[in-house]
Chains A and B, each alone.
Chain A
Amino acid sequence: MTDPRMNDHEIEALFAAARAERAEPSAALMARIMDDAMIAAAEAAAPRPVAARPVAAQTGRRGLVAVLVAAIGGWPALAGVATAGVFGLWIGYAGPGDVGTLTATILGSAYGPNDLVPSLDTYLTEG
Chain B
Amino acid sequence: MPFDAADQDTDEALLLAYGRGDARAARVLTLRLAPWVLAYARRLLRDAAEAEDVAQEAMLRLWRIAPDWRTGEAKVTTWLYRVVTNLCTDRLRRRRRGAALDEVPEPADDSPGAETRLQQAARVAALDAALARLPDRQRQAVILRHIEGLSNPEIAAILEIGTEAVESLTARGKRALAQALAGRREELGFDDD
Contact surface of A with B, Cβ cutoff 8 Å: 2, 4-8, 10-15, 17-26, 29-30, 32-34, 36-38, 40-41, 43-45, 86, 90, 94, 105-108
Q: Contacts A8-B174, A38-B23 hold; do A18 and B179 have CB atoms under 8 A apart?
A: no
Report B-chain residues with C-beta under 8 Å of the C-beta of A21.
Answer: 120-121, 124
Chain B nearest CB from A35 CB (Å) reads 9
A12, closest chain B residue (CB) = B146
In the complex, how many residue pairs between chain A and chain B have their CB atoms under 8 Å apart?
Answer: 125
A105 to B30, CA, bound (A): 12
Q: Is B113 close to A, CB under 8 A?
A: no
Contact surface of B with A, Cβ cutoff 8 Å: 3, 18-19, 21, 23-24, 26-27, 29-31, 34-36, 38-39, 42-43, 48, 52, 55-56, 59-60, 63-64, 66-67, 120-121, 123-124, 126-128, 146-147, 149, 174, 177-179, 181-185, 188, 190, 192
A20 to B117, CA, bound (A): 11
Q: Contacts A6-B178, A25-B55 hold; do A40 and B60 have CB atoms under 8 A apart?
A: yes
Query: Would you call B188 and A25 a contact (CB within 8 A)?
Result: no
A41 to B29, CA, bound (A): 14
Additional A-B contacts beyond A23-B38, A94-B24 (12; CB < 8 A)? A6-B178, A6-B190, A8-B174, A22-B39, A23-B42, A24-B35, A25-B34, A25-B35, A33-B55, A37-B59, A41-B18, A94-B23
Report A-chain residues with C-beta under 8 Å of the C-beta of B124.
Answer: 14, 17-18, 21
B27 contact from A6, A20, A40, A108, Cβ within 8 A: A108
